[in-house]
């Protein structure tokens, strides 16, 4: 695996306190920038006297602080122990606007609470959904979320007070975009570390002479005060007809966010370490649980739902080289303190909307690239390329041609016109079709014990014969299966007093390849990491390493995924006729 040479402090390493506070402040600034952007965009979508915007800003910052600190902690199944910046985001934005238009902010709050249950469900069933929530599906979600937000970003760049020149808004937005691009592309040292905050300040200075910036609310605000609650929207009854009409929309959006969160939970493990390890999917499940808590808290507060900011997090790591989880906890505390300073909140609310639009364009551009990387993660064969291409084509086409959906009418027209929902829905449907029409699987269930070797050998020989493989390929297949079972035996926990655990072997024939999937429960060590470690050693192997070295020889690919309650080892063996 490629090394992240820029990482100076990994999650479990403690950075010096001055550096910790410095990096935490930078991360807090990034979260604040995104929070301001999305709260301002959302509150501008309906008539608001300013009370809701103030409440939403305070509530969003407090929730962002809590869940950012929670994600950096280690608390059972809700503490992954990695930095992951969190705050309001794009995926729920369209659905929330639709809910406010149908029944007000109260309806939106109730729907957000209901949709949070999907996050917890996906976390619990992640192992069962591994063939449905694929990198291709996640990649399509990332790209469509980015494409859907681009028009919003461009529209915000022309959102200025009445009476000003038509060129004022675009001038401020272009200035913000230009400063950000220049600092990210050419900035070094402090300039690159503070690219976005510096761009915000510079763009606000450009906005002052053009009349786009209004600083009077800052002067009127108090320095320290408790948040005002008059902007809290409350809840709508679940018996409301609009609740049930829009519930499916929110559940689908929440599922999309869960797909994205599963990818982010995996990615954050890779980018946080100097030498990336195999993904621990129990950490992915913990990330999903934190995401569910974030959406639930957002619904209770009546604010735009809080999600993870993976591109911003990766940028922070690239700029600072610090991934110590201590930074995440300090960052969360800083956000909560900031939310209790009315004058600071007023400063955030005065950032011109053209500046927010420009920053949204930058963030969405990075998100689109992450989608492309996700799609390419496991290679882009003919089937995956078709799924990506047709999903994006349908989603972009329907989103840009709303006239085609006029005959549908009602809320369903809004659902089908949402590119994110349609794109992900198409990708999931095509993935299901590919799974159902694939080669028929064979299954063997036996004990995770050496006594199971004869049954496994007979099972694999029968598979190889049915596929028409020659004797050499069948022998290689049997050897790979035997060494996989032997390796799992060395990694599993000692069960002296109990019967050995069960292992299920699923065999999936492909074109010249047989995929073996071993499902069992064993120790903390990752088999894939062990093989990678052995491949780097030149000295004579230990006796205990023989199975791992032989497995690397016989198998063309080995993947190990660890979940709560089950471990899955996937081995691919190439054959010949």
User: Do residues 291 and 116 lie in contact, with contact meaning Cβ atoms separated by under 8 Å?
Assistant: no
Helix (H) or strand (E) holding 443: strand 442-447
pLDDT in tens, 94-121: 778 878 887 889 999 999 999 999 888 8
- The CA-based angle 359-365-366, given to 5 degrees, is 95
Q: Rounded to 5 degrees, what are φ and ψ at 214?
A: -125, 110
| pLDDT band with cut points at 50, 70 and 90 for residue 495 | very low
| pLDDT band with cut points at 50, 70 and 90 for residue 294 | very high
What letter does residue 451 receive in the DSSP assignment? Answer: G
Give the residue-averaged pLDDT of 4-20.
Answer: 86
Residue 264: helix, strand or coil by DSSP? helix
What is the model's pLDDT at position 71? Answer: 94
Residue 525 pLDDT more than 70? no
Place of tokens 């088999």: 527
What is the model's pLDDT at position 410? Answer: 54
Q: Find residue 435's DSSP bridge partners.
A: none
Neighbours of 441 (CB within 10 A): 12
Closest CA to 566 of 135, 130, 74, 260: 130
User: Do residues 114 and 252 lie in contact, with contact meaning Cβ atoms separated by under 8 Å?
Assistant: no
Q: What's the alpha-carbon Rg for the chain, to the nearest Å?
A: 26
**Cα(105)–Cα(233) distance, integer angstroms:** 6
Give the residue-averaged pLDDT of 246-256.
Answer: 79
Neighbours of 373 (CB within 10 A): 14
Closest CA to 480 of 461, 467, 494: 461
Closest CA to 519 of 506, 530, 500: 506
**pLDDT higher for 200 or 540?**
200
Give the residue-averaged pLDDT of 476-481.
Answer: 88
What is the model's pLDDT at position 533? Answer: 40
Give the residue-averaged pLDDT of 304-314.
Answer: 85
What is the model's pLDDT at position 201? Answer: 83
**Cα(152)–Cα(149) distance, integer angstroms:** 5
Q: Does domain 442-574 have CATH number 3.30.565.10?
A: yes
Q: Is 234 exposed, middle or buried (0-12, 13-18, 19+ CB in 10 A)?
A: exposed
Helix (H) or strand (E) holding 562: strand 557-563
If you average pLDDT over every residue of the chain, what do you get?
A: 78
pTM of the model: 0.66
What is the model's pLDDT at position 1? Answer: 42
Closest CA to 280 of 294, 267, 295: 267
Residue 87: helix, strand or coil by DSSP? strand
Helix (H) or strand (E) holding 9: none
What is the model's pLDDT at position 112? Answer: 94
**Cα(370)–Cα(326) distance, integer angstroms:** 26
CA count, 13 A, side-chain hemisphere, 87:
29
What is the model's pLDDT at position 412? Answer: 55
**Cα(271)–Cα(1) distance, integer angstroms:** 11
Question: How many residues make up the chain in this entry?
Answer: 577
DSSP assignment of 382-436: HHHHHHHHHHHHHHHHHHH-GGGGTTT-HHHHHHHT-HHHHHHHHHHHHHHHHHH
Helix (H) or strand (E) holding 518: strand 513-520
CA distances from 13 to 91, 366, 452 (A): 33, 28, 42
- The CA-based angle 86-88-92, given to 5 degrees, is 120
User: Do residues 112 and 250 lie in contact, with contact meaning Cβ atoms separated by under 8 Å?
Assistant: yes
To the nearest whole percent, how much of the chain has pLDDT over 90?
A: 12
What is the model's pLDDT at position 565? Answer: 59
DSSP assignment of 35-60: HHHHHHHHHTTS---SHHHHHHHHHH
Across 24-38, 95-109, 297-311, 345-359, least confident range:
345-359
What is the model's pLDDT at position 522? Answer: 53
Closest CA to 273 of 549, 1, 557, 61: 1
Which residue ranges make up each domain of the chain?
A: 17-154+163-223+238-435, 442-574
Residue 245 pLDDT more than 80? no
What is the model's pLDDT at position 121? Answer: 85
What is the model's pLDDT at position 191? Answer: 67
- Which two structure tokens, joined as six digits, stand for 519? 């499902």
Give the residue-averaged pLDDT of 256-273.
Answer: 79
**Cα(238)–Cα(240) distance, integer angstroms:** 5
Place of tokens 């035996």: 489
Place of tokens 């956000």: 335
What is the model's pLDDT at position 2? Answer: 47
Ranges 267-276, 321-330, 494-503, 520-529, most confident: 321-330
Closest CA to 241 of 102, 384, 77: 102
**Cα(136)–Cα(129) distance, integer angstroms:** 14
Residue 9 pLDDT more than 60? yes
pLDDT in tens, 46-89: 766 778 888 898 999 999 999 999 999 988 888 889 999 999 87
Ranges 274-283, 363-372, 380-389, most confident: 380-389
What is the model's pLDDT at position 218? Answer: 73
Closest CA to 499 of 541, 447, 553, 427: 447
What is the model's pLDDT at position 523? Answer: 47
Rounded-to-10 torsion of CA 421, 427, 429, 433: 180
């Amino acid at each position: 695996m490629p090394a992240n040479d820029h990482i100076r402090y990994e999650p479990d390493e403690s950075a010096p306190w001055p550096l910790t506070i410095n990096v935490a402040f930078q991360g807090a600034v990034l979260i604040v920038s995104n929070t301001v952007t999305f709260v301002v965009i959302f509150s501008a979508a309906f008539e608001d006297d300013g009370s809701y915007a103030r409440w939403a800003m305070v509530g969003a910052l407090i929730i962002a602080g809590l869940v950012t600190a929670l994600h950096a902690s280690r608390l059972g199944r809700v503490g992954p122990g990695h930095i992951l910046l969190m705050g309001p985001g794009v995926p729920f934005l369209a659905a929330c606007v639709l809910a406010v238009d149908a029944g007000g902010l109260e309806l939106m709050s109730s729907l957000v609470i209901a949709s949070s249950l999907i996050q917890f469900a996906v976390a619990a069933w992640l192992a069962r959904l591994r063939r449905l929530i694929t990198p291709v599906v996640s990649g399509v979600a990332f790209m469509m979320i980015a494409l859907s937000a681009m028009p919003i970003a461009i529209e915000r760049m022309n959102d200025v007070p009445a009476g000003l020149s038509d060129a004022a808004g675009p001038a401020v937005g272009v200035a913000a975009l230009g400063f950000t691009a220049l600092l990210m592309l050419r900035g070094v040292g402090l300039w690159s570390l503070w690219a976005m905050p510096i761009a915000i300040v510079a763009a606000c200075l450009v906005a002052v002479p053009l009349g786009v910036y209004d600083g009077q609310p800052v002067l009127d605000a108090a320095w320290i005060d408790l948040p005002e609650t008059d902007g809290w929207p409350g809840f709508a009854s679940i018996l409301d007809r609009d609740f049930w009409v829009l519930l499916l929309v929110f559940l689908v959006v929440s599922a999309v966010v869960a797909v994205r969160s599963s990818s982010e939970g995996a990615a954050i493990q890779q980018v946080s370490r100097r030498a990336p390890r195999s993904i621990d999917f129990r950490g992915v499940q913990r990330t999903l649980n934190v995401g569910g808590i974030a959406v639930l808290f957002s619904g209770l507060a009546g604010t735009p739902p809080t999600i993870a900011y993976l591109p911003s997090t990766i940028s922070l790591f690239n700029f600072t080289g610090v991934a110590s989880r201590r930074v995440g906890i300090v960052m969360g505390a800083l956000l909560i303190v900031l939310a209790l300073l009315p004058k600071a909140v007023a400063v955030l609310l005065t950032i011109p909307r053209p500046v927010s639009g420009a920053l949204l364009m930058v963030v969405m551009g990075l998100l689109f690239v992450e989608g492309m990387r996700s799609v390419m993660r496991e290679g882009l064969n003919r089937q995956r390329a078709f799924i990506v291409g047709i999903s994006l084509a349908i989603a972009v086409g329907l989103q840009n041609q709303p006239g085609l959906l006029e005959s549908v009418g009602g809320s369903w027209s809004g659902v089908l016109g949402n590119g994110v929902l349609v794109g992900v829905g198409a990708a999931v449907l095509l993935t299901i079709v590919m799974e159902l029409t694939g080669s028929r699987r064979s299954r063997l269930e036996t004990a995770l014990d050496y006594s199971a070797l004869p049954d496994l050998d007979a099972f694999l020989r029968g598979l190889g014969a049915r596929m028409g493989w020659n004797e050499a390929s069948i022998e290689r297949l049997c050897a790979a299966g035997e060494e996989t079972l032997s390796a799992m035996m060395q990694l599993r926990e000692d069960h002296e007093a109990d019967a050995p655990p069960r292992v299920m072997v699923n065999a999936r024939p492909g074109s010249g390849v047989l995929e073996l999937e071993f499902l069992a429960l064993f120790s903390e060590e990752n088999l894939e990491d062990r093989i990678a470690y052995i491949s780097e050693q030149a000295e004579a192997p230990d006796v205990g390493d023989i199975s791992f070295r032989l497995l690397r020889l016989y198998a063309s690919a080995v993947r190990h995924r660890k979940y709560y309650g089950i471990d899955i080892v996937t081995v691919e063996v190439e054959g010949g006729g």
